[in-house]
């Protein structure tokens, strides 16, 4: 666990000491976010006319709204990631199945190629035997004739 950090920040023109286990930069970032919200709403006439307590509640509601929208966005992104992970998983399995099928097909091609080569050798032997037999038959005919 990291050390506890105490950081002086200005929020709404007032100095506050924020304490937490986050970095000083993070605590300043939080204060900046709140100051931006205050600045954003201070530009709206209907907000400025509200009592300070009501302004505080409206700011809190707006920040809570931002939080829930961000949380929903995270949830949607997580669902999208899960969908992409499932799609990736399926594609990997499809790839593996295709590789297995390819290997099997390559073995079949090699086996068939071997049979073709054996057949070609057999044909060549038979043609040679046929030629030899013809030549012997011609020699026998000459010798008899």
Dist. CA 88–CA 111, nearest whole Å: 34
This prediction's pTM: 0.62
Q: What is the pLDDT of residues 119-138, one digit of tens each?
A: 999 999 999 999 999 998 88
**Helices 52-144, 24-42: crossing angle, 10 deg rounding:** 120
- Residue 144 confidence class, pLDDT cut points 50, 70, 90: confident
First to last CA, the chain: 113
Domain boundaries, the chain: 1-49
Q: What is the pLDDT of residue 1?
A: 63
pLDDT more than 70, % of the chain: 99
pLDDT in tens, 24-53: 999 999 999 999 999 999 999 999 999 999
DSSP state of 3: P
**Which residue, among 39, 37, 40, 43, has the nearest Cα to 66 in the 3D structure?**
37
* Contact between 62 and 39 (Cβ < 8 Å): no
């Amino acid at each position: 666990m990291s050390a506890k950090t105490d950081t002086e920040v200005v929020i709404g023109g007032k100095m506050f000491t924020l304490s937490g286990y986050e970095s000083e930069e993070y605590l300043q970032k939080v204060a900046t976010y709140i100051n931006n919200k205050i600045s954003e709403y201070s530009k709206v006439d209907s907000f400025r006319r509200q009592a300070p307590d009501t302004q505080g509640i409206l700011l809190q509601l707006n920040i809570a709204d931002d939080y829930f929208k961000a949380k929903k966005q995270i949830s949607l992104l997580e669902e999208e990631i899960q969908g992409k992970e499932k799609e990736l998983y399926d594609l990997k399995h499809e790839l593996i199945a295709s590789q297995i099928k390819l290997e099997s097909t390559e073995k079949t091609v090699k086996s068939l190629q071997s049979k073709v080569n054996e057949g070609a050798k057999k044909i060549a032997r038979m043609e040679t035997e046929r030629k030899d037999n013809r030549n012997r038959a011609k020699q026998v005919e000459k010798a008899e004739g």
